[in-house]
């Protein structure tokens, strides 16, 4: 499925199910929201997004707990789920989608090398997270992370009744 078709399909699925979406982005810097809003009429299902690049923004805007960041780091299952929960709550949306990762070229560690990305999804009845180790330059990692986040959202919506 081409990128444009994916975004159109997401709009159709959200509209058919009467669901609204909010996104919290760190390493993608607004790319997920950008792609969603490329579709005319996206204001009927896309509430908005928060670019929480700094830990302070994750805590202050999304309610990510400081102890979560200290214990697990900004790029972790725990943090991305708190981001998804937080953006869903803050923007009063049905679905919260979050992305956090290390796009590089620096910032990686042996445990979390450049390209490590976590994607989280939060709905009233489900929470799920996925981890990837993506390859490429910074912009490629950002693009791949946004693409995977949108694909996970589509998979969830395809299975939602």
The answer to whether 73 and 26 have CB atoms below 8 angstroms apart is: no
What digits encode the pLDDT tens for the residues 83-119?
999 999 999 999 999 999 999 999 999 999 999 999 9
Alpha carbons 134 and 156: distance in angstroms, whole number: 22
Question: Angle CA(144)–CA(79)–CA(130) in degrees, nearest 5?
Answer: 40
Instruction: Tell me if the bond preceding 23 is cis, omega within 30° of 0.
Output: no
For the chain, strand residue ranges (E) read 21-25, 46-51, 95-101, 116-123, 126-133
What DSSP character marks residue 104? Answer: S
Statement: residue 31 has pLDDT above 60: yes
pLDDT band at 2 (very low <50, low <70, confident <90, very high): low
Query: Which residue, chain included where needed, has tokens 């450049």?
Result: 114
What digits encode the pLDDT tens for the residues 116-158?
999 999 999 999 999 999 999 999 999 999 999 999 999 999 9
pTM flag (> 0.75): yes
Among the CATH numbers 1.20.120.140, 3.30.565.10, 3.90.950.20, 1.10.3860.10, which is that of 3-159?
Answer: 3.90.950.20
Statement: residue 3 has pLDDT above 80: no
What digits encode the pLDDT tens for the residues 34-72?
999 999 999 999 999 999 999 999 999 999 999 999 999
């Amino acid at each position: 499925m081409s990128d444009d078709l994916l975004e159109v399909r997401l709009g159709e699925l959200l509209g058919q199910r009467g669901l609204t979406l909010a996104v919290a982005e760190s390493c993608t810097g607004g790319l997920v929201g950008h792609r969603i809003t490329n579709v005319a009429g996206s204001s009927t299902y896309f509430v908005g997004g928060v670019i929480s690049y700094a830990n302070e923004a994750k805590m202050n805007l999304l309610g990510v707990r400081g102890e979560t960041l200290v214990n697990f780091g900004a790029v972790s299952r725990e943090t991305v789920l708190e981001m998804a929960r937080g953006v869903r709550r803050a923007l009063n949306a049905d679905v919260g989608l979050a992305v956090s990762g290390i796009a590089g070229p620096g910032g990686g560690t042996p445990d979390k090398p450049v390209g490590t990305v976590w994607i989280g999804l939060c709905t009233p009845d489900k929470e799920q997270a996925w981890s990837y180790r993506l390859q490429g330059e910074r912009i490629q990692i950002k693009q791949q992370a946004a693409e995977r986040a949108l694909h996970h959202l589509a998979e969830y919506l395809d299975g939602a009744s």
